[in-house]
Amino acid sequence: MKHSLALILCLLLGGCFLFPDKEDPGNVPPSKLFADAMDDMDDGNFEGAIKKFEILESRYPYGKYAEQAQLEVAYAYYKQEDTASAAAACDRFIKLHPTHPSVDYAYYLKGLVNFNENMGFIAYLVNEDIAERDPKSARESYETFKELVTRFPNSIYAEDASARMRFLLNSLAQHEIHVARYYMKRKAYVAAANRSQLVLQNYPQTPAIEEALLIMVQAYDAMGLNQLRDDAERVMRYNFPDSKYLSKVGDATKPWWKLW
């Protein structure tokens, strides 16, 4: 009887090895592991998906599943709003697979990551501390979309990337305007004029040009730089003959921020 019990115990223990735990990802083929991770993605379980994709890549580092897992990890981080990890994953994929058929998507996703981060920046445009804000994410998003459009002009993502680039340019120009307003309110006229000049130089096709010229006129007038004031006003009248600001441009009793 003792021998029978010992034999049964050995068989039961051995069964643990004969029939591996189906939950052990090390015993799951890459196709199944990838499918399970995608199921987690569909269910919104991005953390679980990331773990499975990372296990897949570590156990099966070569082949189509590992490559696709790297891209899906970037998307999962994006959905988790983990900006740094998502951007890093996109950069890694681009570096490892520069000729991959989906590398344009990696660029697009990286642009989206920073674009959404930029939306938080835009929400601060009305705040008093705007001069302390750094639109780094907006610039990075613009440069990423620009590279996508330049390298892959026929990509299915190129049209949307171009539209987002225009939006980003406008938001960057508007940022400079808000900073110029900040300086004007504090009578830092040189700084205000310089910020407005940056708009003319870097964002010449944006709607912010009109207000940039106005600020320059007001700043130069406040500093008594009549020639520069007249030059800026002449440019403004030529380019915006119907501007709502023109009737107030020469009225020193009405500061520019009270024109609305």
Three-state DSSP at 247 gives helix
Among 240, 224, 138, CA closest to 189: 224
pLDDT digits (tens, 9 = 90+) for 133-143: 568 888 999 99
pLDDT digits (tens, 9 = 90+) for 169-220: 998 999 999 999 999 999 999 999 999 999 999 999 899 999 999 999 999 9
Q: Return the pLDDT at 248.
A: 63
pLDDT digits (tens, 9 = 90+) for 54-87: 999 999 988 889 999 999 999 999 999 999 999 9
Nearest 5°: the CA angle 45, 74, 97 is: 140
pLDDT digits (tens, 9 = 90+) for 112-123: 998 887 665 444
Amino acid in the structure at residue 131: A
Is a pLDDT exceeding 50 seen at residue 53?
yes
Rounded CA gap, 217 and 234, in Å?
10
Q: Return the pLDDT at 7.
A: 43
DSSP H helix total and E strand total for the chain? 11, 0
What share of the chain in percent tops pLDDT 90? 66
